[in-house]
């Protein structure tokens, strides 16, 4: 009950992602598929469910298959539980995704340390929350020390790196997914 895989699929987001990755307009896909722009828009916005025949026409226009589009589709559930695996904590660094699928938000939990020299830069905003332990984060030329319960918000484009300063540190990182155009280019100060 409530299993993520039992839910119907939303193929519209997969169609939109594929179309955008090919840098095609709806008009071009309409011309190639023989379907109308309004109908394609309704598919992408989940207001219409394409028949098998229509999905195959869209797939052909996007140079893929209906099977591939269905495989890339999002589940149509509004609630999804991601359970902890129940395993005992290990001293080795670990990362696990807290959100399944291809959504507008991405969240990961990092346990232990990782490559502290690795620099990160994300297009969209992100929030780092220290669930346990402590970290040191370097961003915009400044160092920030965070302990249990502290958060750090980074706007899109900020280069940063971080490291755990205490054993068994757990950090949760929540970010707007990279495929979302959430942030316009901001002027640098």
Confidence of residue 131 (pLDDT cuts 50, 70, 90): very high
CA distances from 14 to 36, 114, 120, 162, 182 (A): 18, 32, 27, 33, 18
Whether 128 and 112 have beta carbons less than 8 Å apart is answered as no
Whether 4 and 74 have beta carbons less than 8 Å apart is answered as no
Q: Rounded to two decimals, what is the model's pTM? A: 0.56
pLDDT in tens, 46-98: 898 898 889 999 999 999 988 888 877 766 656 666 777 755 555 666 777 77
Considering only CA atoms, which of 90, 161, 157 is closest in space to residue 128?
161
Give the separation between CA 130 and CA 150, rounded to whole angstroms.
Answer: 6
Give the separation between CA 86 and CA 133, rounded to whole angstroms.
Answer: 20
Angle (CA) 172 9 72, round 5°: 65
Exposed, middle or buried by CB within 10 Å (0-12, 13-18, 19+), for 128? buried
| Helix extents (H) in 34-164 | 37-44, 52-61, 66-71
Q: Please say if the pLDDT value at position 165 is more than 70.
A: yes
Give the separation between CA 25 and CA 183, rounded to whole angstroms.
Answer: 21
């Amino acid at each position: 009950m409530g299993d993520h895989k039992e839910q119907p699929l939303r193929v519209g987001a997969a169609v939109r992602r594929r179309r955008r990755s090919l840098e095609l307009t709806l008009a071009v896909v309409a011309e190639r598929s023989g379907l109308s722009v309004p109908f394609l828009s309704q598919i992408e916005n989940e207001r219409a469910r394409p028949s098998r025949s229509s999905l195959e026409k869209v797939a052909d226009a996007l140079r893929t298959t209906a099977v591939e589009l269905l495989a890339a589709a999002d589940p149509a559930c509004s609630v999804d539980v991601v359970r902890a695996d129940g395993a005992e904590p290990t001293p080795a660094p670990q990362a696990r995704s807290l959100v399944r699928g291809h959504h507008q938000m991405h969240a990961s939990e990092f346990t232990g340390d990782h490559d502290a020299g690795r620099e990160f830069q994300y297009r969209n905003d992100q929030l780092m929350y220290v669930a346990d332990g402590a970290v040191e984060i370097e961003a915009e030329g400044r160092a920030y020390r965070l302990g249990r319960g502290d958060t750090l918000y980074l706007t899109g484009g900020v280069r940063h790196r971080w490291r755990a300063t205490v054993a068994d540190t757990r950090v949760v990182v929540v970010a707007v997914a990279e495929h979302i155009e959430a942030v316009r280019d901001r002027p640098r100060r």
